[in-house]
């Protein structure tokens, strides 16, 4: 497939070329699958360097589709990004590639500056360079609600909430959002940005709360709860995020930002208790046995107390709403991890254990 496509003139082909970056990662793989299956008139070019978080196994069901291509490219490498854009002349870019884990950003902020800021600017530069006019073109940046900083007990993040990032991760995402907007203002690139709440679902690397805790429960390892466990997050099932991305890419207004969230707030400890109860049941273990693994550990520095999204705009203007309840989404997620032990084993081999010991056990 790759061979045939690379002999093709990508410029004059009747298919529309769309680059999706970070397509081998958690959210990106759901977006690539949706676009490849739904839009046979698009050629989807998945651009991913395959860091620890990128895994082509996530896309094994669509890898031989005629409208799918994979390109292993580091978005930090400007010359490689230029060559990629010359080759495909993409009309659209849906940009998800990023370093995405807050705890890693605390240990190595520069990795986040490189990929999230420099990588985004490289994509913008190449996109700007190949297009003489931007009619029908679009650059879509996938961002996070964490750029807004933290909420107190009341209130929700709205699209007009000022940016106030607290972690190196959220600072790098805020910066890249600003670059996207600045390129829109300065060079006329048609862009759209979405800021989404915490995602969960199939194929999430077991460093984020939900898959880490599922994996630890399976292995009967401690569940490290940061601080007092009263931190609040707003959880959204990943497939619903992918549906929102499809909608915004096709129907969002240029120059606009949209918040995406499930109106689904949980304190960490309440969510962990629900997860523990479901895991006991599904694993056929004695009631209460997973909860016994809960271990309160030292807090994350700069830990944002509460995130919660007001998703009224995307609901009213584009008609998006989540398709599953949290209970349904969590059950699907747990079932997936339990029936994909091989996937979990593969992604936790290699340096994972070393990372884990460093990050949690010595906390």
Asked about 169 being catalytic, the answer comes back as yes
Nearest-10 crossing angle of helices 26-38, 238-251: 60
- Residue 226 binds: one of ligand NAD, ligand TYD, none (C-beta under 5 to 8 A by kind): ligand TYD
Stretch that binds ligand NAD, among 2-10, 25-33, 120-128, 312-320 (CB under 6 A): 25-33
- Return the number of the residue (230 or 312) whose C-beta is nearest ligand TYD: 230
22 in contact with ligand NAD (CB under 6 A): yes
144 in contact with ligand NAD (CB under 6 A): yes
Angle 84-96-363 from CA coordinates, rounded to 5°: 125
- Residue 67 binds: one of ligand NAD, ligand TYD, none (C-beta under 5 to 8 A by kind): none
- Closest contact distance (angstroms) between CB of 237 and ligand NAD is 11
Identify the residue whose tokens are 């996530």: 58
24 in contact with ligand NAD (CB under 6 A): yes
**Contacts (CB under 6 A) with ligand TYD, residues 254-283:** 268
- Residue 268 binds: one of ligand TYD, ligand NAD, none (C-beta under 5 to 8 A by kind): ligand TYD
112 in contact with ligand NAD (CB under 6 A): no
Residue 67 CB burial class (10 angstroms; 0-12, 13-18, ≥19): buried
Contact with ligand TYD (CB under 6 A): which of 69, 174, 225, 275? 225
**Active site residues per annotation:** 145-146, 169
Q: Which residues bind ligand TYD (CB under 6 A)?
A: 102, 198, 208-209, 212, 224-226, 231, 233, 268, 300
């Amino acid at each position: 497939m790759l061979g045939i496509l690379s002999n093709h003139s990508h410029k004059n082909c009747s298919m529309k070329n769309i680059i999706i970056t970070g397509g081998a990662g958690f959210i990106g793989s759901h977006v690539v699958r949706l676009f490849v299956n739904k839009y046979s008139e698009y050629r989807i070019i998945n651009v991913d360097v395959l860091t620890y978080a990128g895994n082509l196994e996530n896309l094994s069901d669509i890898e031989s589709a005629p409208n799918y291509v994979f390109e292993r490219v580091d978005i930090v490498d400007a010359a490689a990004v230029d060559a990629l854009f010359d080759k495909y002349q993409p009309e659209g870019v849906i940009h998800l590639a990023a370093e995405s884990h807050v705890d890693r950003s605390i240990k190595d902020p520069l990795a986040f500056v490189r990929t999230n800021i420099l990588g985004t600017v490289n994509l913008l530069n190449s996109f700007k360079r190949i297009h003489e006019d931007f009619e029908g073109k679009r650059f879509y940046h996938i961002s996070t609600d964490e750029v807004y900083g933290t909420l107190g007990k009341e209130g929700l993040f709205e699209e007009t909430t000022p940016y106030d990032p607290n972690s190196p991760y959220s600072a790098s995402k805020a910066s890249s959002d600003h670059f996207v907007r600045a390129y829109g203002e300065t060079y006329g690139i048609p862009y759209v940005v979405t800021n989404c709440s915490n995602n969960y679902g199939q194929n999430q690397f077991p460093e984020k709360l939900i898959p880490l805790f599922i994996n630890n429960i399976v292995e009967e390892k401690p569940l490290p709860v940061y601080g007092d466990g009263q931190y609040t997050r707003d959880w959204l099932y990943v497939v619903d995020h992918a549906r929102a991305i499809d909608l915004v890419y096709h129907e969002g207004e240029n120059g606009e930002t949209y918040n995406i969230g499930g109106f689904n707030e949980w304190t960490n400890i309440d969510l962990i208790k629900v997860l523990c109860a479901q895991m006991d049941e599904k694993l056929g273990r004695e009631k209460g046995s997973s909860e016994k693994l809960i271990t309160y550990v030292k807090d994350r520095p700069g830990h944002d107390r509460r995130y919660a999204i007001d998703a009224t705009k995307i609901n009213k203007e584009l008609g998006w709403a989540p398709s599953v309840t949290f209970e349904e989404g969590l059950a699907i997620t747990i079932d997936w991890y339990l029936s994909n032990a091989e996937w979990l084993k593969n992604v936790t081999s290699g340096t994972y254990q070393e990372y884990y010991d460093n990050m949690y056990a010595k906390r």
